[in-house]
A and B are shown apart, each in its own frame.
Chain A
């Protein structure tokens, strides 16, 4: 299972990486914004992406819209401080499969990752 973490905060990527490692996922690629992620997806070919919303250069929503033009199936989880219902709807319309609001507990993130992967493989 190859998982890409897209967040401009290294601290947040490290926390997510720690949760993923506890779940047994160790094949992880990191990107610091949407553009960086787009430049890495072809080579890494992720099975799951965790995407922040507010990032410099290219935000997460733009990344999701661009990514979905070519890839309709790889699951995307938005992990963001954007907690308004309208934002969640906007993200889902753009193509995210699940949504985690920061701050989160490791248990919640773990639950959403497991839930998302289970839905995709069902």
Chain B
């Protein structure tokens, strides 16, 4: 995958966490994902369409997600509550929105986010799109951003 597609997500996850939660994110080395299982138990998923296709997942351990959501909402929410899922979904929404603004291509849309909570869940994207794992560490714990996108046109994909 083109490194130019990954860099905006690294910048945006750091930007969103520092601006909204005053929580710095130390980003580790990206790697290619080799399994369908999500990295952690709480995952927020968003689809991209238009001139780029694919999906992006923010995956966090439950304790980390609870702590981050508490910084976001000002209260400690149970993972069963709708408000918890809403907050986690809004985080991935901001990360992807911010990242796509950095793309050179203008016509990229993002979907309304979905949130999956539970151990060993799977998110299956398009098989022809490699997924890059971007690990991050915060004072609230670890997180992983899973980016699986490619240009929509075959010509652009080959470029």
Which A residues are within 8 Å of any B CB, using their own CB?
A: 8-12, 14-15, 18, 54-56, 80-84, 86, 101-105
Check A83/B101 contact, CB under 8 A, given A10-B86, A55-B112, A103-B94.
yes
State A65–B95 Cα separation when bound (angstroms). 27
B93 x A9 contact (CB < 8 A): yes
Check A11/B72 contact, CB under 8 A, given A54-B110, A86-B106, A104-B19.
yes
A9 x B89 contact (CB < 8 A): yes
Residues of B close to A104: CB separation below 8 A = 19
Q: List the B residue with the shortest CB-CB distance to A102.
A: B94
Interface of chain B, main secondary structure: helix
**Which of A56, A81, A82, A84 has the most chain B CB within a 10 Å cutoff?**
A81
Residues of B close to A80: CB separation below 8 A = 97
Residues of B close to A101: CB separation below 8 A = 97-98, 101
26 intermolecular pairs with C-beta atoms under 8 Å apart: A8-B112, A9-B87, A9-B90, A10-B82, A11-B72, A11-B73, A11-B86, A14-B73, A15-B72, A18-B74, A54-B97, A54-B110, A55-B112, A56-B112, A81-B97, A81-B110, A82-B101, A83-B97, A83-B100, A103-B15, A103-B16, A103-B19, A103-B20, A103-B94, A103-B98, A105-B19
State A11–B92 Cα separation when bound (angstroms). 13
A11 x B19 contact (CB < 8 A): no
New A-B pairs, 7, CB < 8 Å, besides A9-B89, A81-B96: A55-B112, A84-B106, A86-B106, A101-B97, A101-B98, A103-B16, A103-B19
State A10–B72 Cα separation when bound (angstroms). 12
B87 x A11 contact (CB < 8 A): yes
Let me know if B83 is at the binding interface, CB within 8 A.
yes
Residues of B close to A56: CB separation below 8 A = 112
State A54–B74 Cα separation when bound (angstroms). 24
Residues of B close to A83: CB separation below 8 A = 97-98, 100-101
